[in-house]
Amino acid sequence: MEILIISGLSGGGKSKAASFLEDMGFYIVDNMPAAMILKFAEFCAGGNGRYDRVALVYDVRTASTFDELFEVLDQLKRMPGVCHMLFLEASPETIIKRYKETRRRHPLADKAGSLTEAVNMEAELMASVRQRADYIVNTSHTSTAQLRGELLRLFGGKDEKGGLSVMVTSFGFKYGLPMDADLVFDVRFMPNPFYIEELRHQTGLDAPVADYVFSFPQTGDFVKRLHELLDFTLPMYAEEGKTNLVIGIGCTGGHHRSVAVTHVLAEHIRQQGYHVTEAHRDISRV
């Protein structure tokens, strides 16, 4: 079991971090008192794998002192599994600007005479927590995509290639473009199996059709260049923070050429380490 304590300064990016970690498979609990963390960890350990990755948000709202948190951390680190603490911070100027933009109330507003005083007071209170952190991320000049990328680098699973999931779908142009497609490629220039009587009622998933489509050099050349293009662009989509990419491969009816190419392309992307879904929108249309 993996337990991650998310702490840091108000306005430092804890909520965004928690959202990204949830997308990465963590079960998120916000504002949990230290006294309950051990009980919760025991509960998760008996969850038959349902709560293998847990992230708990703990900050200045939870306690006035952090001695109890440190005792809990020491006990968690002695337990089987992995326990880390992530601390998110930003410069006072950045935090003040964020609060003014959102018009939210700082948690220490009642104890301070101004927003500036509240921000500085919290930084002093959280200094001991910061010292215990395993990872410190400063978000002063970090975009949302960059924060997500850093969390993926620190906590992403081995099977997560930048957190990008790719869907490759075949379709027929006669039925319209896929509305959710990010990239569309037209393979109607390839020889059409529809005009071969014995292939007409098969699909691109059938070996005779796929063999026919790939028997022409232009098909191999096109797919080779498409592989090169995606090998170049997919890492950059992931780095920019994109989580889902839909690639459409179209032919006239969506039965033969587009299906065969989609199947090969999906397998190539899968071999690069991305999570891939293969779909054939119009393969069953008459």
For 241-279, write each residue's pLDDT tens digit: 788 899 999 999 999 999 999 999 999 999 998 889 999
Token digits of residue 171: 């379709």
Whether residue 210 lies inside any domain: the answer is yes
Distance CA 151, CA 59 (A): 19
Q: Are residues 91 and 227 in the same domain?
A: no
Which of 155, 183, 201 represents a domain boundary (last residue)?
155
Full residue range of the structural domain in which residue 30 is found: 2-155
Whether residue 113 lies inside any domain: the answer is yes
Q: Is the pLDDT of residue 81 over 90?
A: no
Q: Are residues 26 and 147 in the same domain?
A: yes
Whether residue 255 lies inside any domain: the answer is yes
Q: Are residues 148 and 175 in the same domain?
A: no
pLDDT band at 161, cuts 50/70/90?
A: low
Q: Are residues 145 and 73 in the same domain?
A: yes
Whether residue 107 lies inside any domain: the answer is yes
The CATH number given to whatever domain includes residue 103 is: 3.40.50.300
Q: Which residues face 88 on adjacent strands? A: 8, 137
Q: Are residues 141 and 185 in the same domain?
A: no
Which of 155, 186, 210 represents a domain boundary (last residue)?
155
Q: Are residues 151 and 243 in the same domain?
A: no
User: Residues near 45 by Cβ (< 8 Å), separated by ≥ 6?
Assistant: 1, 79, 80, 81
Q: Are residues 137 and 190 in the same domain?
A: no
Whether residue 38 lies inside any domain: the answer is yes
Share of the chain above pLDDT 90, in %: 64
Whether residue 285 lies inside any domain: the answer is no
Q: Are residues 95 and 207 in the same domain?
A: no
pLDDT band at 46, cuts 50/70/90?
A: confident
C-beta pairs of 271-275 under 8 Å, 24+ apart in sequence: 272/161, 272/231, 272/234, 273/159, 273/161, 274/161, 274/162, 274/164, 274/165, 274/166, 274/234, 275/159, 275/160, 275/161, 275/164, 275/165, 275/166
Q: Are residues 121 and 186 in the same domain?
A: no
Whether residue 286 lies inside any domain: the answer is no
Q: Are residues 116 and 195 in the same domain?
A: no
Q: Is the pLDDT of residue 10 over 70?
A: yes
Which of 136, 155, 174 represents a domain boundary (last residue)?
155
Whether residue 180 lies inside any domain: the answer is yes
Token digits of residue 54: 């847990």
pLDDT at 154: 87
Q: Are residues 42 and 135 in the same domain?
A: yes
Q: Are residues 151 and 27 in the same domain?
A: yes
Q: Is the pLDDT of residue 121 over 80?
A: yes
Q: Tell me the whole-structure pTM to 2 decimals.
A: 0.65
What would the pLDDT profile of 221-245 be if each residue is shown by its tens digit? 999 999 999 999 998 888 777 888 9
Provide the domain count of the chain.
Answer: 2
Distance CA 243, CA 239 (A): 10
